[in-house]
Amino acid sequence: MKQTLPLLVALTLASQAVAQCSVDSTFAQSGPGLYPQGPMSPDCDLLASKTVVGITDTTIANPLGGGDEVTVYLTGIRINAILGLPAGLTLETDVMDSADEEGQWGYWYNSGDVPEQSSAVGCGHIVGSSADWAAAAGGGPNSDGVYPLEFTIDAYVESTDNALLNQFLQPQWLSALGDLGPGAFIVHDTLVILPGFNTIAASIIGADNADAGSSYIYSTDAIGDTYDWTVTNGTIVSGQGTDSIEVVWDVTGQVAVNVINNACSGTDTLDVTVINTAMAEASRTRTVVYPNPSEGLFHVLLPDDGSVDVRILDMNGSVVRTERSSGRRSLRVDLRNTPEGMYILELRSATGVARECLVRN
């Protein structure tokens, strides 16, 4: 008969057959199972390493009857079959060199002698090309990228703690014991391959408002092997090929980054408004803000009565408030519900762009 046991097989997702799975020895003293626990998903290396800790013994009902239980000493495990893998993906292990016709994925054997054994620790990996992984993304029985996997795990029985049973029991695999053994274990796990699994977040961090001729730092916290930056209407002064660049702006433009991390990639763009300093200074002479500093309520006399787009930004460049003034020569800026500190008042009209520093006490 078959029985279910917590996972005994370690799987590593790999893009190449030569890839080696990773054994985490910190799990060696854990109970039999698959570590870390949880569904498997490919990362940018198309690897999702897990470590297997084998089983040394288990308790079964005495097949000779009598109502008592028998401890069965198991000295090794193997995979007999796997069901549920997406097309094009196959299983390999770190013991493939021990494979034969009966154990096509090889064997994991415990160390030590019965009953003082140490559990076998090993791993395996599911292998496929980038195209195979991409084709499997979002598939599965429910078309949600979730693939239930079923493994048939066999264990080698060396002996038991029952002398009478040992007379009938020859050391062999559970699957060959018939009525004398519990049969092979059925083990379940889940492979999750979501659309976009090979896409990484590559957000650009930096000012989206800049002064012409001044330098600014732009960076991304995405981890990659290569970083390709492009700047429109500005010059990259330093940092190309790294996660951070220095840019000197000419006029309003854009900064973009493409990050590549093995099989993964990610892009982001940031529009940057560049102010011509001379134009801003000319406009600023006709703009009056009072009181400044204040406890949050500011009055602004505008340079003309045309349409003016107003933005309030904090010192990190985040927009706190926006509004549009048309046909007025003054407006009121209320920051009483914002934290104390410095803010930037940006006024944009047909005559140019002006900035004023607001101090909220």
Assess whether 171 and 213 both reside in one domain: no
Q: Identify whether 310 is part of a domain.
A: yes
pLDDT band at 1 (very low <50, low <70, confident <90, very high): very low
Both 160 and 242 in one domain: the answer is no
User: Which helix (H) or strand (E) covers residue 119, if one does?
Assistant: none
> Do residue 44 and residue 182 come from a single domain?
yes
Is position 198 within any domain?
no
Q: 35-76 pLDDT, tens per residue?
A: 888 898 898 888 767 888 899 998 888 888 777 889 999 999
Q: What angle do CA 76, 78, 83 make, to 5 degrees?
A: 155
pTM of the model: 0.66
Flag whether 199 is in a domain: no
Do 164 and 34 have their domain in common? Answer: yes
Q: Is the pLDDT of residue 4 over 70?
A: no
Q: Say whether both 261 and 160 belong to one domain.
A: no
pLDDT at residue 2, rounded to an integer:
39
Rg (CA), the chain: 33
Residue 306 confidence (pLDDT)? 72
Same domain for 135 and 21: yes
| 13 and 131 assigned to the same domain | yes
Domain end among 275, 292, 309: 275
* Of the candidates 324, 329, 331, 361, the residue with the CA atom closest to the CA atom of residue 343: 361
Residue 197 lies in a domain: no
User: What is the β-pairing status of strands 3-4 and 185-192?
Assistant: parallel
- Residues 162, 35, single domain; the answer is yes
- 294 and 236 housed in the same domain: no
**Spatial CA neighbour of 258 closest among 209, 224, 284, 217:** 224
The DSSP string of 68-80 is -EEEEEEEEEEEE
Of the residues 159, 192, 225, the one at which a domain ends:
192
Mean of the pLDDT values across residues 214-229? 93
At a CB cut-off of 8 Å and minimum separation 6, what does 191 contact?
A: 11, 13, 39, 40, 41, 84, 85, 86, 126, 146, 147, 149
313: in domain: yes
Judge whether 75 lies within some domain: yes
For 255-312, write each residue's pLDDT tens digit: 999 999 999 999 999 999 987 654 444 444 467 888 989 999 998 887 666 788 888 9
Q: Based on the domain organization, do 30 and 110 belong to the same domain?
A: yes
If one counts the domains in the chain, the total is 3
Are residue 254 and residue 318 in the same domain, yes or no?
no
Q: What is the pLDDT of residues 94-115, one digit of tens each?
A: 999 999 999 999 999 999 999 9
Structure tokens at 8: 């005994």
Residue 123 confidence (pLDDT): 92
Most trustworthy range by pLDDT among 155-159, 207-211, 353-357 = 155-159
pLDDT at 351: 67
Output the six-digit token pair for 214. Answer: 């001044």
For residues 324 and 268, membership in a common domain is answered with: no
Segments forming the whole domain that contains residue 240: 204-275
- Tens digits of per-residue pLDDT, 111-152? 999 999 999 999 988 888 899 999 999 999 999 999 999 999
Q: What is the CATH number of the domain that holds 347?
A: 2.60.40.3080
Residue 203 pLDDT level (bands cut at 50, 70, 90): very high
Q: At which of 192, 218, 238 does a domain end?
A: 192
